[in-house]
Amino acid sequence: MGLDAAVFKNLQSFPPQIRNRLRLVDVRTGELDFIEDVSPEERSENSFVAIDERIGNAATVHWLAQEIQQSSRVGCNVLLSAVFYSGSHGGDVLTAAQIAILEQELDGIDAGGEETGLLSDFVATMRRLIAASREEGNPIVFV
């Protein structure tokens, strides 16, 4: 068990011949799927995920939450209440407003200057997810 996060590709990022065969499954997450059944090969050739990141197992998530509480120079409401509230959760979404706050919280962690390897890796992971979220116009989804 653990915590993983992803950002789904935007429908517009697909070529027209593929886009016309897709449908929006979940407006909240931006998740897509084919309208009709397709072969496993075609499905694997057309990934709907822009980025998929492992945050860590339950013990790592717990450790990161404690480390952030101790080392952050800013409040970490989004990190603690939306990311680290559980060592494993799925289906939750970070909206654009939450992502903007999350980025400020990450800046506060960076400014602390006392990052360990795991904490530094976590910050880099979240920054990659944020960048993909902005590029695709879709939220960060915990899977």
Q: What is the pLDDT of residue 116?
A: 63
Per-residue pLDDT of the chain (143 residues; tens, 9 = 90+): 889 999 999 999 999 999 999 999 999 999 999 999 988 888 888 899 999 999 999 999 999 988 888 877 677 889 988 898 877 787 899 999 999 999 999 988 854 444 468 888 999 999 999 999 999 999 999 98
The predicted pLDDT at position 133 comes to 98
Which residues, 6+ apart, have CB-to-CB distance to 38 below 8 Å? Answer: 21
pLDDT at position 16, please? 94
Architecture of the structural domain at 2-142: 3-Layer(aba) Sandwich (3.40)
pLDDT score, position 71? 74
| pLDDT on residue 136 | 97
pLDDT for residue 111: 44
42-74 in b/e form (b: 16+ CB < 10 A) is: eeeebebebbebebbeeebbebbbebbeebbee
Q: What is the pTM of this model?
A: 0.88
Burial class (CB in 10 A: 0-12, 13-18, 19+), 3: buried
